[in-house]
Structure 1
């Protein structure tokens, strides 16, 4: 099976690299293209046997399964290029959350899926959020989940929950890293600890915490209770956190949802010329 990628930016190149390193796909079975062709060439050059092509037309013609790793504003022009060459037996996978499955099924005759990856897939970890269109067969779904299982834990979700689940799986690493960096910066500023040492300690702590929440079978609340003892230092610190972050995470989720709705509306106006109801 030939697998194509349109878009070799941050996430497109991450997926290509993860699939090859994990053994999910042979480099010789991958074709890549990018608006800036030199980026596709550089990616292919790092994986002997991989082919870089100079047009979206070539990418879809040479692919059985094609990943669209592009920004929402690029879909209209890219879909227009793909339409004359799209086949009913092809699988098209979008990794762009504001692009609805219905958008792609309206524009292409192919079997449509949406997958939301995470930066954690780069180390063959985390989850991949999977949504399948009406034309996908059981065999198609199993094939795609099989590929993704090499680099993540595939998780089937309802498309209406795309945003909130993406907040946790895809945006979450950046949110947690932001909080970790704040903790590091404060430690360095107040105590003078070496920044590199603070980063190393915090990173190891995050790794161990993740294992406790997965392999260790703990929930976040269980972990908090285990570390925090009445009258102890951790409890005092948690009191500060609870006070200072009161309402913050609710505001965060509302903000990401509002941006998502705006992006969906822009895509629908771009594709249809008017707003269309959707998840």
Structure 2
């Protein structure tokens, strides 16, 4: 299997590094290209055997599976450039949530899949969201999901729920990190505990809580009930959070969805896919 990466920025390089570290791929299986070729050359120096392509078209030509790790506004130009060398048996994978399967299937003759990764893959954990196109058969789907199983837990989702699913799996780590950062800073201000000590305690707590929830030992509600003794310290603090955060998560979802819809409208216009096309998928 030959795997190509068009775009080696933050997430592109993360995928390359984690696939290699996990043993999912060997360096000689990878071809990569980037707008700034120096970045790819540097990446190849870190992973001997990785081929630094001179162009995106060369990456597409050398690969069975091609990852598009680029920004939404770059898709149209990149697709038009690689289209002459793309074949029906290739699999193109977008990791960008606003780019729809219908956009790519209308523009390319190959098999299309969308996978939304997460920074948590650096630890071999977290969910990778899998949205497969109409041309993907069962073997194709299993092939892609097997690759991601080395670094994550692949979970199939409906494209309709890409944004809200990404809020949890992809954006969620930043949201939780922000919450912990604010909590740690308050602890330092109010008690004098060191930032390092508070961060270590909070991180271990988060890891343990994640395991409890992910392994199905308890639900979020059950966990709160077991920790919060009526009239106790935890219960009092939970009441404060409940009143202070009322409506915050509704607003958060509104913000992420508004940005997603704005990007989607721009992509629809760019790919010439209007509302009628949207309803066909």
TM-score, normalised relative to structure 1: 0.97
Unaligned runs of 5+ in 1: none
Alignment deviations for residues 52-96 of structure 1 (CA, whole Å, 9 cap, x no partner) = 112001000000000000000101110111111110110000000
Q: How far is 1:274 from its partner?
A: 5.9
Structure-2 separation of matches of 1:220 and 1:41? 46
Query: Is 1:95 matched with 2:95?
Result: yes
Structure-2 separation of matches of 1:250 and 1:108? 37
Structure-2 separation of matches of 1:54 and 1:188? 50
1:72 matched residue in structure 2: 72
1:161 matched residue in structure 2: 161
> What does 1:1-279 align with in structure 2 at a 5 Å threshold?
1-215=1-215, 217-272=217-272, 278=278
**Over aligned residues, Cα RMSD in angstroms?**
1.3
Q: How far is 1:268 from its partner?
A: 1.3
Alignment deviations for residues 196-220 of structure 1 (CA, whole Å, 9 cap, x no partner) = 1111111111111111112361111
Q: 1:205 to 1:268 in 2, by over 3 A?
A: same
Q: Give 3-state SS (helix, strand or coil) of 1:82's partner.
A: helix
Structure-2 separation of matches of 1:253 and 1:181? 21
Paired residues, what number?
279
Structure-1 separation of matches of 2:170 and 2:22? 20
8 Å contact kept, 1:268–1:276: no
Q: How far is 1:273 from its partner?
A: 7.9
Q: 1:100 to 1:273 in 2, by over 3 A?
A: closer
Q: Give 3-state SS (helix, strand or coil) of 2:49's partner.
A: coil
8 Å contact kept, 1:19–1:151: yes
TM-score, normalised relative to structure 2: 0.96
Q: 1:213 to 1:274 in 2, by over 3 A?
A: closer
Q: How far is 1:276 from its partner?
A: 6.1
8 Å contact kept, 2:40–2:52: yes
Unaligned runs of 5+ in 2: none
Q: 1:73 to 1:192 in 2, by over 3 A?
A: same
Alignment deviations for residues 133-192 of structure 1 (CA, whole Å, 9 cap, x no partner) = 111111111100110111111101111110011111111111111111111011011111
